[in-house]
Amino acid sequence: MSENKREPIEATIAELKPGMKSVNITFKVLSTSEQREVESRSDGETYHVVDAVVGDSTATVMMPVWNEAIKAVKENETYTLTNGYTGLFKGSLRLHLGKFGTIAAAVEPIAEVNDQLDMSAKDYSGGPRSH
């Protein structure tokens, strides 16, 4: 019988691809957007979200941060995301905390971030998908 548990993937931001699960990654928060409210189409609840630009020595990526997690994420701080995942929003790569993920202050701060490679700038909406 096969286990449903996935092995965690230790990744850098430049290695992220759509559809990755169980991602462990350390990043620095470069900037956060203004907080906005989003109403859920499924349950009518109102949620709060900020878009964070996070990066490491390899690249940057957009990461939406929701509700309670917003208070835990500060600009210029380094964090380790455990059990995160990647997805697409309007054809653009996003890193997600998700309901099973955790975020904590990293042991080692990231000093240099490669802001020349933006993984969210690549358009994944066209062409065949590779797995």
In this prediction, residue 2 carries a pLDDT of 44
Burial class of residue 73 (count of CB atoms within 10 Å of its CB; 0-12, 13-18, 19+): middle
Q: Is residue 77 part of a domain?
A: yes
Rounded to whole angstroms, how far apart are CA atoms 44 and 59? 36
pLDDT of residue 124: 82
Q: Does a structural domain hold residue 121?
A: no
Has residue 120 been placed in a domain? Answer: no
- pLDDT on residue 123: 85
**Domain annotation covers residue 74:** yes
Q: Is residue 5 part of a domain?
A: no
pLDDT at 106: 97
Per-residue pLDDT of the chain (131 residues; tens, 9 = 90+): 444 567 889 999 999 999 999 999 999 999 999 999 999 899 999 999 999 999 999 999 999 999 999 998 999 999 999 999 999 999 999 999 988 999 999 999 999 999 999 999 988 876 554 44
The token pair that represents 50 in the structure block? 């900020």
Query: How many structural domains compose the chain?
Result: 1
pLDDT of residue 126: 67
- What CATH number is associated with residue 70? 2.40.50.140
- pLDDT the model gives residue 4: 53
| Helix boundaries (H) for 1-131 | 69-72
**How does strand 60-66 pair with strand 23-32?**
unpaired
Range of the domain at 50: 18-105
* Residue 94 belongs to some domain of the structure: yes
Q: Look at residue 2 and tell me if it is in a domain.
A: no
pTM for the structure as a whole: 0.88
The answer to whether position 50 is within a domain reads yes
